Structure 1
Amino acid sequence: MPVPAIDSPAGPSWLPGQPGQPVQWLVSAVVMLAALITVRPVGTSGWGLAVALLLPVNCLFLASRHLPGSMLPDRVAVIWLGAGVLAAAALMTASQEGSAYLFVYFLAGHAGMRLPARPALALAALASGLSTLVLLTGLGPGNHEVPWPVGLTFGLPVLLGMMNRLQRQAMASTLDAARSAERAAHAEARSTVLTERARIARDVHDVLAHSLAGVNMQLELADALLEAGDLDRAREVTGTAHGLVRESLRQAQWTVHTLREDALPLVGSLRAMVESSGHRQGLEVTGDERDLPAPVSQNLLRIAQEALTNATRYAPGASVRVTLDYRAGEVALSIVNGPPPRPPAAVPGGSGMGLIGMRERVALLKGGITAGPITEGADVGGWQVSAVVPA
């Protein structure tokens, strides 16, 4: 299922607490406009000149809080905001009336949002201390609109800023988690695709590799017999090639069937497979038969198909026994063929991929498999494949 793309932590400017947020710009514009209208005196000499010079400086410091964090590293931001607090305190000192104190409020709040806790609290203490000192001592022309105890609260907006900072960090963590989940989903989807490709590759090999190699060998032998003029033997070899083709078609039908179906009846399918392969001994089932998960049934069928194909090609005419044993918590499949009645003809094109494919199938099911020649007992000289998987 596709996972929606996630914005980076910087994100669009409209996210809460992000630089350039329109509401924040509007608030800053209102504060600056209120200061320009209400802060007095403004003139060309004395305190009026000081106010005229300090107003644009304070507006500059207030506007700078909208700059992206990458433009002002923390150390620079501490110095910059400290200078802004000093400029705001100086404007409060030089003014006689108006809203100069708002600059202190907003700079303290921005320090809480922009800086780590320790420097932010230090700047808030500086803002409160300077504001209280100005109001208490009555420096400058005097500001009688705000009582001095209020100056102690001028640093409190730092707490709101710190809460805003925590909110932004939580949002960034959420976005990081979402991106990690997206990457994990993509990795899982890719792993699923690769696993399915490997499964199809094993199925294609099981159907085509041995069959085509056997047909190719028979046709080359038929060409050699035709050149030698042995028509009867050539017809016999051609008939063998036709039989291999028919067997390959049956195997292809089984492969298509297993690729299309989620689950196959294991016992019935295995019995039909054994009988169609020409081994009339049939299938022996032991234990209490039960339904198995689809992956278990599919992979056991493919293992049986590979083992039966190998028995037909490398031990033609040999007896074959197939046993399916239902045990507690697991199921075992065994395919045993006796020694061939005559030395088998060499089959070109063997790559060992069949055994590798069987081991891969069992490994996917977290089971075990053994495959090799039989060295003792009645079937000495034959071959045995035994797979045990949890089920």
Structure 2
Amino acid sequence: MNTEGEDTAPATAGVAPRFGDELLRPFVVAAISVITVIELLERAPLRFAVVIWALTAVVIAVGAASAFPWRRLRDSAQFALVSVFAVGGALLFALAPNTAAVGFVFLASTTAGEKLASRKAVFAVAGIATVVTMVATRIAGSLLHVPGEPVWWLTLAVGLPLYVGVARRERSHALAAAEFAAQQNRRAAASEAREAALEERSRIAREIHDVLGHSLSGIALQLDMADVLLAGGRDTDAGEAVRRARTLAVSGIGETRRAIQALREDTLPLAVTVSRLADGSDAGCTVEGEPGEVRVEVAQAVIRTAQEAITNAHRHAPGAEVNLVLRYEDRLIRLTVTDTGAPAGHRDESGSGMGLVGMRERASLLGGTLHAGPLEPPARGWTVRLELPR
């Protein structure tokens, strides 16, 4: 059953089987039945008219019943119905060879192959139909002198259509199995889509928490401090606290923009995104190792760390040379961001430090580590090293 949003291809593919199974058999049964009745009315049987009409009624009734599903019938009931159909058709084959009634015996063989699950039962019905047809036609021609005896080889072919029935049944089962598999695939795809949506929501929630949560907390803290300082008459210190709150607000806006940019670029390969970040910030970038599949949350953490490290380098050491190294290892991914440092005494130490705190928290949640600090002497500058499991 199709639901909104699901692929409709299996439903379209099911039109042909429905036509074959639900319309073709009733049409064939109805056509043979109507033609047989018309021919018997126009050329009334000279002998055995009652028997012929009775057999015609029986085979038409069973043929009509074969147009409906037999799944609720027991195997013995199905075998009995097909046997009656085959024997009745075989007798009509012998007694009314000049009418369309001869088609019923062939239709009975097809029905046996299509309806009966047991191969032994199928070949038993085919054998019974063939034997009864051969014996009945010989008796009808030699002893009863029924006019219009069919050619002898045609009696040997009445069992052949059972292969058509078997093929139709196998095809029906294959189509049912394919439809079931398609439904399972659609359900699995829907489940994966829901899981991906939930994961994406969680990831966006973490971004909002990391970016806005730290900034708003710092702003609230500074404003509370300003309120206390104003109450104590320390207007100058209160003004400084308000200015720090404004600085945090501006920084938060920038962090929010970078987070949105990272979310938009998340569909690109990680190495490409990091390279673009470096190019857009006049920084060098080197990718080492063999890039492979990286978890979404890990890639996001690397991108956010690269953004924060580049921003801090330009803010605290303007004019310094910045380099990024992204290294892929078997189980780890490493990002190292270094700058050559500002001229002596010119390094800007302002800032809340909340960005690096958020990056450390994010790395810890992912089972990794983040280190930020000055390079070991005699080297000058600052380095940020992120290590995360892939």
What is the TM-score of this pair, normalised by structure 2?
0.70
Q: What does residue 369 of structure 1 align with?
A: 368
Separation (CA, whole Å) in 1 of partners of 2:27 and 2:275: 76
Separation (CA, whole Å) in 2 of partners of 1:287 and 1:101: 84
Q: Is the 8 A contact 1:9 1:172 kept in 2?
A: no
- CA drift of 1:176 comes to 3.5
- CA drift of 1:158 comes to 0.6
Q: What does residue 302 of structure 1 align with?
A: 304
Task: Give the fraction of aligned pairs with identical amino acids, expressed as a percent.
Answer: 26
Q: 1:8 to 1:291 in 2, by over 3 A?
A: closer
Q: Is the 8 A contact 2:116 2:122 kept in 1?
A: yes
Q: Is the 8 A contact 1:6 1:175 kept in 2?
A: no
Q: Is the 8 A contact 2:215 2:249 kept in 1?
A: yes
What is the TM-score of this pair, normalised by structure 1?
0.69
| Unaligned ranges ≥5, structure 2 | 313-321, 339-351, 378-383
Q: Which moved more, 1:287-296 or 1:142-151?
A: 287-296
- CA drift of 1:58 comes to 1.3
Separation (CA, whole Å) in 2 of partners of 1:328 and 1:10: 46
Q: What does residue 202 of structure 1 align with?
A: 206
Separation (CA, whole Å) in 1 of partners of 2:290 and 2:12: 50
Q: What does residue 15 of structure 1 align with?
A: 18
Q: Which moved more, 1:231-240 or 1:55-64?
A: 231-240
Q: 1:114 to 1:359 in 2, by over 3 A?
A: farther
SS, match of residue 80 in structure 2: helix
Separation (CA, whole Å) in 2 of partners of 1:268 and 1:179: 42
Q: Which letter does structure 2 place at the counterpart of 1:61?
A: V
- CA drift of 1:272 comes to 8.6
Separation (CA, whole Å) in 2 of partners of 1:179 and 1:155: 37
- CA drift of 1:288 comes to 6.4
Which of the pair has the greater relative contact order for Cα pairs under 8 Å at 6+ separation?
A: 1
Q: Which moved more, 1:120-129 or 1:225-234?
A: 225-234
Deviations 1:229-259 (A, max 9, x none): 2222222222221121121112122123323
| Unaligned ranges ≥5, structure 1 | 274-281, 311-321, 337-344, 379-383
Indicate whether 1:114 and 2:122 are aligned.
no
Q: 1:151 to 1:327 in 2, by over 3 A?
A: same
Separation (CA, whole Å) in 1 of partners of 2:358 and 2:247: 23
Q: Is the 8 A contact 2:95 2:137 kept in 1?
A: no
Q: Which letter does structure 2 place at the counterpart of 1:146?
A: P
Correspondence list, 1:132-151, <5 A: 132-138=134-140, 141-144=144-147, 145-151=149-155
Q: What does residue 85 of structure 1 align with?
A: 86
Deviations 1:346-390 (A, max 9, x none): x9xxxx986564466xx6xxxx6225899xx99xxxxx8632467
Separation (CA, whole Å) in 1 of partners of 2:371 and 2:327: 23
Q: What does residue 34 of structure 2 align with?
A: 33
Q: What does residue 279 of structure 1 align with?
A: none
Deviations 1:283-342 (A, max 9, x none): 8x79667997997875413135678999xxxxxxxxxxx984344657522589xxxxxx
Separation (CA, whole Å) in 2 of partners of 1:331 and 1:37: 84
Q: What does residue 124 of structure 1 align with?
A: 126
